[in-house]
């Protein structure tokens, strides 16, 4: 019996291949976008984990310099002598063949156990490692090193992508940091008696394992955003699947009744239909995962560049097939298909055997379903309103987005029906009246595809508003921050004092740029020292500040902080910030600092030099009316290589390129989502085409040409898409507001002003209309070319 029933069920797909294609492709596309994003996330996370595992970071306490980024190696010796079991680490970045490489220098004799480094060292010839200046790296990095470095290279899979392991002395030599180490790892087993740390090394601080900075946590928000977009694309795809499954169930109602009348038990039928769905979903899921792999492989290089630019974390540029993402892809495909089929299966289980098979409208067309949909829309939109007013945190932000988008999608059919009813009421001619009424009758069939279009359009409007607002703010911010015409690398000239004197003599103003990494209010941050002058006074725009903010900074009586630090540490103007032992200053201003992941505090030059006397300026900003002349003079006077003098335009161009890369992934996902929506419309129109004949045949019989009917079909689709696009605009703007005012603040720590971009919206709308037009052309063409017998059969009751 099972074989016969399965054959009967499968025969439907054989005879309705387009519907099968819709179902499989819809599910495959949804899975592809989801699993593509998951593949990128999994690859990035694996890279972070591998990097952290190099020295088992996060599992051991560490001793860090209180100031600066290094400490004398002599401290290591002093601590060992005092009974502290510690292991030194030197870390830094080196450019190898145009690629920034993370160098990790370890002491093989004291490296902590159960770390990737100690495992790699256990597999390495220690003698060779120590004497031959050997570098140990993963396969990808090893190839780069072999091509560009004279050192022997050993390949070990345990070393993180982008990282190179070597003896501490080798790394010190390569980085030019002789006698300096970055930090000390405190081994888990320590003697009972030890001299207190404050007595041996008062300039070191103990960072506990659970307090270590975790790059994975820093990048979480970035991945969360990607996941949200992946999920949105998946949701759009599931609308297609729901439509295809709903239609398939609807068309098979007669067959299902016949099967039951012939003696197939209901339970067996439901189980077999679920099995059929599972098989199809697994196939579609596998196809989707393959497509997702391609998408991820195309996007990963940009994502890797973005994460490196934003967070300094290395992500392998090549993709591996990891169980985490392909399993999640299959699970999503199965879950999505079953979710999309749940209502159809439920109706099937409750369907009486003897009710008439024909004459039933599309499943979603029933008045009860419409009422339930409208009620759910009202509840979800109300929940979104409540969350917007009262919600806090990233989770609430995403919950608000989900309620808003789903509520709006469910509200679309009733809104469209109301608009079409209005059109029908205004129509005078019979044909116009039929057109409006017939368009309304099509809504249940096209509703899901239009919901997909609404979501895709809203996502496009929302994200493009966010990105364009961000870009506008960011450009303004760069103009504000990069006001100096030239930036001179301080390391380019050995005699720094002579360089400073020369610049003072030839430039309108010199702005030394000096900074030190610090922990402020328990958060990773930087302290900057600035020379207060007209550049800062005229160009910087504060989010909040006291009236004489720069006077206070110049006098060393206050500090300016960036928005990230202000939000994360709940510090506002008037609050006091501890900058170090014995140094606490009131906050005089909060400044926007877009694109920077960590906190920043800005003090006057004098105070900075007095507090951190060892820190020299890393660069000088130079104000001059003749940048080209000063550049030439500098080159002649100090023989400074041209690359060490960067002009403002170059820095802006670089910063903007990092910015553009950051959003290239979301741009790509946007386009893909819109393409999926266009596909949804096409498939809905194609599958509806045959079902539409009974509505069109009488109009044709009464004297309307097939050509005209086809034209009206195109007009109908474009009209529905246009109304949907118009409704998507306010929804997209609401989405942009949530992203800018809630999600971004929680994820990145800054709030951006929202700008509107009407030209961009018109362009998007035209794109959506063009997609709908393209989708409508084929079914309309088929209608116009249909043989009259096809339409005549409608009247013969032989279909």
* Choices 157-165, 167-175, 189-197, 255-263 (CB under 8 A): range interacting with another protein: 255-263
* Residue number with CB closer to another protein (248 or 677): 248
Round to whole Å and give the CA distance between 229 and 294.
17
347 touches another protein by CB under 8 A: no
CB of 268 to another protein, least distance (A): 8
Encoded tokens for 196? 């207190």
* Choices 10-18, 386-394, 481-489, 615-623 (CB under 8 A): range interacting with another protein: 10-18
264 touches another protein by CB under 8 A: yes
* Residue number with CB closer to another protein (1 or 74): 1
262 touches another protein by CB under 8 A: yes
* Residue number with CB closer to another protein (360 or 707): 360
267 touches another protein by CB under 8 A: yes
Question: Strand, helix or coil at 795?
Answer: helix
Question: Do β-strands 71-72 and 180-181 pair in parallel, antiparallel, or remain unpaired?
Answer: antiparallel
Round to whole Å and give the CA distance between 565 and 579.
13
Encoded tokens for 652? 């802006």
Residues for the chain: how many in total?
799
* Choices 352-360, 502-510, 526-534, 676-684 (CB under 8 A): range interacting with another protein: 352-360
Which residue(s) pair with 599 in the sheet? 525
DSSP-derived letter for residue 290 is H
Looking only at residues 45 through 104 of this chain, which bind another protein when binding is defined by CB under 8 A? none
- Quick one: CA dihedral 115, 116, 118, 122, positive or negative? positive
* Choices 114-122, 170-178, 350-358, 431-439 (CB under 8 A): range interacting with another protein: 350-358
CA atoms within 13 A on the CB side of 783: 30
* Choices 103-111, 251-259, 378-386, 495-503 (CB under 8 A): range interacting with another protein: 251-259
* Contact between residue 530 and residue 536 where contact means Cβ atoms under 8 Å apart: yes
CB of 367 to another protein, least distance (A): 17
17 touches another protein by CB under 8 A: no
CB of 11 to another protein, least distance (A): 4
* Residue number with CB closer to another protein (345 or 475): 345
* Choices 348-356, 375-383, 563-571, 695-703 (CB under 8 A): range interacting with another protein: 348-356
Neighbours of 113 (CB within 10 A): 11
* Residue number with CB closer to another protein (199 or 798): 798
* Contact between residue 670 and residue 464 where contact means Cβ atoms under 8 Å apart: yes
Round to whole Å and give the CA distance between 213 and 199.
26
774 touches another protein by CB under 8 A: no
Question: Do β-strands 153-155 and 135-137 pair in parallel, antiparallel, or remain unpaired?
Answer: parallel
Question: Do β-strands 583-591 and 542-545 pair in parallel, antiparallel, or remain unpaired?
Answer: antiparallel
CB of 799 to another protein, least distance (A): 6
Q: Could you give phi then psi for residue 170, rounded to 5 degrees?
A: -65, -45
From 265, 392, 574, 641, residue interacting with another protein (rule: CB under 8 A): 265
From 200, 255, 394, 777, residue interacting with another protein (rule: CB under 8 A): 255
* Choices 8-16, 321-329, 523-531, 622-630 (CB under 8 A): range interacting with another protein: 8-16
From 3, 367, 642, 703, residue interacting with another protein (rule: CB under 8 A): 3
786 touches another protein by CB under 8 A: no
257 touches another protein by CB under 8 A: yes
Round to whole Å and give the CA distance between 168 and 170.
5
794 touches another protein by CB under 8 A: no
Round to whole Å and give the CA distance between 429 and 605.
80
* Choices 3-11, 116-124, 494-502, 737-745 (CB under 8 A): range interacting with another protein: 3-11
157 touches another protein by CB under 8 A: no
177 touches another protein by CB under 8 A: no
Round to whole Å and give the CA distance between 646 and 487.
5
189 touches another protein by CB under 8 A: no
**DSSP letter string over 595-655?**
T--SEEEEEEHHHHHHH-TTPPPSEEEEE-S-HHHHHHHHHHHH---GGGEEEHHHHHHHH
From 122, 206, 357, 432, residue interacting with another protein (rule: CB under 8 A): 357
How many residues sit in the footprint of another protein (CB under 8 A)? Answer: 31
* Choices 257-265, 420-428, 494-502, 595-603 (CB under 8 A): range interacting with another protein: 257-265
* Residue number with CB closer to another protein (255 or 675): 255
- Quick one: CA dihedral 198, 201, 202, 205, positive or negative? negative
Round to whole Å and give the CA distance between 63 and 267.
66
Encoded tokens for 683? 């498939």
* Residue number with CB closer to another protein (476 or 790): 790
- Quick one: CA dihedral 190, 195, 200, 202, positive or negative? positive
Round to whole Å and give the CA distance between 100 and 110.
27
Round to whole Å and give the CA distance between 506 and 630.
7
DSSP-derived letter for residue 185 is E
359 touches another protein by CB under 8 A: no
From 187, 266, 305, 769, residue interacting with another protein (rule: CB under 8 A): 266
Contacting positions for another protein (CB under 8 A): 1, 3-5, 7-8, 11-12, 14-16, 254-255, 257-267, 352-354, 357-358, 798-799
């Amino acid at each position: 019996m099972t074989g016969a029933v399965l054959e009967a069920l499968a025969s439907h797909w054989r005879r309705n291949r387009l519907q099968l294609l819709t179902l499989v492709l819809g599910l495959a596309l949804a899975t592809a976008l989801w699993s593509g994003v998951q593949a990128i996330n999994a690859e990035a996370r694996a890279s972070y984990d591998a990097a952290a595992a190099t020295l088992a970071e996060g599992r051991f306490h560490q001793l860090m310099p209180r100031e600066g980024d290094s400490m004398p190696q002599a401290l290591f010796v002093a601590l060992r002598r005092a009974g502290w079991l510690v292991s030194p680490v030197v870390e830094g970045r080196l450019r190898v063949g145009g690629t920034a490489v993370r160098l990790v220098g370890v002491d093989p004799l004291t490296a902590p156990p159960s770390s990737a480094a100690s495992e790699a060292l256990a597999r390495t010839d220690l003698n060779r490692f120590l004497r031959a200046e050997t570098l140990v790296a993963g396969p990808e990095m090893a190839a780069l090193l072999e091509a560009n470095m004279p050192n022997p290279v050993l390949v070990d899979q345990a070393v993180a992508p982008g990282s190179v392991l070597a003896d501490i002395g080798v790394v010190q030599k390569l980085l030019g940091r002789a006698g300096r180490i970055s930090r000390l790892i405190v081994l888990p087993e320590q003697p009972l008696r030890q001299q207190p740390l404050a007595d041996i090394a008062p300039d070191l601080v103990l960072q506990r394992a659970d307090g270590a900075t975790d790059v994975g946590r820093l990048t979480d928000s970035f991945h969360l955003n990607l996941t949200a977009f992946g999920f949105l694309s998946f949701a759009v795809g599931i609308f297609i699947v729901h439509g295809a499954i709903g239609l398939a169930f609807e068309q098979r109602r007669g067959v299902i009744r016949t099967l039951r009348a012939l003696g197939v038990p209901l339970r067996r039928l439901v189980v077999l239909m679920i099995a059929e769905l599972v098989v199809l979903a697994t196939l579609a899921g596998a196809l989707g995962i393959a497509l997702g792999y391609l998408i991820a492989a195309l996007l990963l290089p940009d994502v890797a560049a973005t994460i490196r630019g934003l967070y300094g974390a290395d992500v392998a540029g090549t993709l591996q097939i990891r169980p985490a993402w392909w399993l999640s892809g299959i699970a999503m495909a199965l879950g999505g298909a079953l979710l999309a089929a749940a209502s159809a299966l439920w109706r099937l289980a409750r369907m009486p055997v003897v009710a008439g098979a024909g004459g039933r409208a599309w499943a979603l067309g029933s008045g009860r379903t419409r009422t339930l949909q409208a009620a759910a829309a009202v509840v979800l939109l109300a929940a979104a309103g409540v969350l917007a007013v009262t919600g806090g945190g990233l989770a609430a932000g995403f919950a608000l987005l989900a309620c808003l988008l789903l509520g709006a999608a469910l509200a679309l059919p009733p809104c469209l029906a109301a608009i079409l009813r209005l059109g029908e009421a205004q129509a005078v001619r019979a044909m116009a009246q039929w057109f409006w009424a017939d368009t309304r009758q099509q809504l249940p069939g096209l509703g899901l595809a239009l919901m997909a279009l609404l979501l895709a359009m809203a996502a496009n409007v929302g994200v493009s508003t966010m990105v364009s607002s961000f870009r506008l703010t960011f450009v303004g911010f760069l103009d504000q921050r990069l006001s100096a015409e030239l930036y001179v690398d301080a390391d380019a000239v050995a005699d720094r004092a002579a360089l400073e004197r020369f610049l003072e003599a030839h430039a309108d103003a010199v702005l030394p740029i000096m900074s030190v990494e610090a922990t402020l209010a328990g958060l990773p941050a930087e302290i900057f020292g600035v020379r207060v002058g007209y550049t800062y006074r005229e160009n910087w725009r504060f989010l909040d500040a006291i009236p004489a903010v720069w006077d206070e900074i110049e006098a060393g009586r206050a500090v300016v902080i960036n928005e990230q630090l202000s939000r994360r540490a709940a510090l506002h103007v008037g609050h006091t910030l501890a900058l170090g032992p014995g140094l606490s200053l009131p906050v005089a201003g909060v400044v926007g600092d877009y694109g920077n992941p960590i906190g920043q505090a800005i003090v006057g030059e004098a105070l900075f030099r007095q507090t951190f006397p060892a820190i020299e300026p890393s660069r000088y900003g130079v104000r001059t009316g003749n940048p080209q002349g000063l550049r030439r003079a500098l080159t002649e006077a100090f023989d400074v290589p041209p690359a060490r003098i960067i002009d403002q335009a170059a820095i802006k161009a670089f910063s903007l390129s990092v910015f553009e890369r950051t959003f290239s992934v979301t741009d790509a996902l946007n386009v893909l989502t819109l393409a999926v929506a266009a596909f949804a419309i096409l498939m809905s129109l194609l599958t509806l085409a045959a079902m539409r004949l009974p509505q069109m045949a009488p109009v044709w019989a009464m004297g309307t040409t097939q050509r005209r009917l086809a034209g009206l079909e195109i007009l109908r689709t474009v009209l529905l898409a246009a109304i949907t696009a118009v409704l998507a605009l306010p929804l997209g703007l609401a989405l942009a507001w949530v992203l800018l005012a809630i999600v971004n603040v929680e994820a990145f720590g800054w709030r951006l002003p929202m700008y509107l971009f009407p030209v961009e919206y018109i362009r998007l709308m035209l794109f959506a209309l063009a997609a709908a037009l393209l989708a409508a052309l084929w079914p309309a063409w088929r209608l116009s070319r249909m043989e009259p017998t096809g339409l005549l059969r409608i009247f013969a009751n032989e279909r």
